[in-house]
Amino acid sequence: MKVIGLVPAYREAGRIGRVVRGVLAHLPVCAVVDDGSADATAEEARAAGAVVLRHGTNLGKGLALETGFRWAAEQGADGAVCLDGDGQHDPAEIPKFLACLEAKVPDVILGTRSRSARMPRVRRFTNRFCSEVVSRLAGTRIHDSQSGYRYVSVRAWKLARPRSARYDAESEFLIRAGRRGLKIREVSVATIYGEAKSKINPLVEPLRFLRLALRYIIGME
């Protein structure tokens, strides 16, 4: 199977190069979708060996993933290991996804973090709540719906492509994947929080998630 690395990135200068090099130690191609960064994200990613796809303006993580999977399909890839560009996902754990893929051939492999003291208290609560809601809406148990570290086959993305453009796209994808009967597996990954400031708006993004959940609860989707 042809598996590539896919990294949505927004203003990750100073971090993205290390992530790209880590991905390329395990996968033949790393595609970075620069989602309208005004800094040197694209230049650093390219210098580290990535294929860089650029948005002229910031469109959101959901659309960055759409751009990445569209490109992956054009290249004949079977799927992509997706990870963030801020260093919170350790590329050294990519072999866990590849081993799971070889053994079970699932459609989706979710990198599940433990809710240890390394995860801030507010995020532990949010993670538990959102994962429970997504599990119920997807019809399958998902322990870490907020994790962006995941393998997704190109086929699965086409079948369960989210309509959301921002961070809630990752939750929506899991809901749609579960409802379509796609095979979702999980592997344990490290819980890492570095010095990079989160780009998730603590007021706006929870509201987006609740609006997303409500659409599926009342049958609008």
* pTM for this entry: 0.91
pLDDT of res. 199: 60
User: Cα separations (Å) of 66 from 47, 89, 96, 187, 215?
Assistant: 24, 20, 24, 24, 21
Q: For the chain, which domains are there?
A: 3-217 (3.90.550.10)
User: 16 and 48 in contact (C-beta within 8 Å)?
Assistant: yes
By 3-state DSSP, what share of the chain in percent is helix, strand and coil, each rounded to 5? Answer: 45, 15, 40
* pLDDT score of 202 more than 60: no
User: 39 and 10 in contact (C-beta within 8 Å)?
Assistant: no
pLDDT of res. 205: 78
* pLDDT score of 113 more than 90: no
Give 129-183 pLDDT, tens digit per residue: 999 999 999 999 999 998 999 999 999 999 999 999 988 999 999 999 999 999 9
